[in-house]
Amino acid sequence: MPTPAAFLAGSCRSSLFGDFRNRIAFNCPQGSALRAVSSMAAPNAQPEKNGKVPDLKSVKGVLFDIDGTLTCSDPLHFKAFQDILSEVGFWNGQPIDEAFFRQHISGRHNPEIAAELFPHWPEERRTAFSEEKEQRFRDMAGSKLQRMPGLSEFLAWLESRSLRKAAVTNAPRGNTELMLSALQLDTYFEAVVLGEECARAKPHPDPYLQALQLLGLQPHEAVVIEDSPAGVRAAVAAGVPCFGITSGQDPAVLIAAGCCMLIKDYHDLLKLAEQQGADSNSSTQQQQLQAATGKAAAQNLQEKHVVALNVDSR
């Protein structure tokens, strides 16, 4: 039987959890789980089958997940699930560990989680269980949520380019409203799409397809930022390139799900945009130089031709 474990040391800010009993160690985003992520000097692009890293200068919109993407909320979900599952006797009352949470819970839709954990429970009991767990999350989350590192700067960059923005989440409406309000983003997004209000939630593409429709964008005109394999698979199924933010999941899991690049936080996206801008400027300058060189060569050739004609006419 797995033993309790501190959830993914190196994932999220410890300052959020100082008052928790049985403290959970978090330090976002500098821990061992992120050491596999290479520096932005050599962008952490994934295998070609996962799609090319999009040029951020050419996109027209960004679609954000919320839990674990805008804010490091997984520790709160982990704590709520750990407590309530122990109370109902799951795993004979022993607390779930971080590996179980990442594999079976993180990023998934509540009805799917409850059905997998309690296949013999009636639907009414599963629903009551999920509602109680989410209430516990909300009780903890209101004053503890903070924006991911670099998020404010990245949002300012989006504003400077007049890009479209939507939030797309599997969280229930109560959680969504609380998180966006706590992050002072409750009026920021042009559209907020809830998986529970779509025909199918993530990992199906429906929530992202709906967000694209609401923003009037084609899949190739947008990018998605996600932290869970279910969310990455939803983005990929919708045909939208997806950046995987390593706030909680094993980077290898996000790669396997199909993300085109891993980032530690939003500072990495800003570095990527800066790098792509520098590359673009260099390419433009090279093209201008080649054009000027070609023009000078053509003019020189024309002058030589005129001289030759003058010599012949003599």
Q: How many CB atoms lie within 10 A of CB 11?
A: 28
At 33, list the tokens: 């789980």
Q: Is 201 exposed, middle or buried (0-12, 13-18, 19+ CB in 10 A)?
A: buried
Phi-psi label, residue 205: left if phi above 0, alpha if psi -120 to 50, beta otherwise: alpha
CA–CA distance, 131 with 283 (Å, rounded to integer): 54
Residue the block writes with tokens 């779509």: 198
Q: What's the pLDDT at 129?
A: 97
| Chain centroid, CA 7 distance in Å | 20
Q: What's the pLDDT at 203?
A: 96
Q: What's the pLDDT at 285?
A: 45
Q: What's the pLDDT at 51?
A: 83
List the chain pLDDT tens, one digit each, 314 residues. 333 333 333 345 333 333 333 322 233 443 323 223 333 333 455 555 678 999 999 999 999 999 999 999 999 999 999 999 999 999 999 999 999 999 999 989 999 999 999 999 999 999 999 999 999 999 999 888 999 999 999 999 999 999 999 999 999 999 999 999 999 999 999 999 999 999 999 999 999 999 999 999 999 999 999 999 999 999 999 999 999 999 989 999 999 999 999 999 999 999 999 999 887 655 444 554 455 555 555 566 565 554 555 555 55
| Neighbouring residues of 125: CB distance < 8 A, sequence distance ≥ 6 | 118
End-to-end CA distance of the chain: 103
At 185, list the tokens: 């983003």
Alpha helices in the chain (DSSP H): 74-87, 98-104, 110-117, 123-141, 151-160, 173-182, 206-215, 229-237, 251-257, 266-313
Catalytic residues: 65, 67
| Neighbouring residues of 155: CB distance < 8 A, sequence distance ≥ 6 | 165, 188
Q: What's the pLDDT at 156?
A: 97
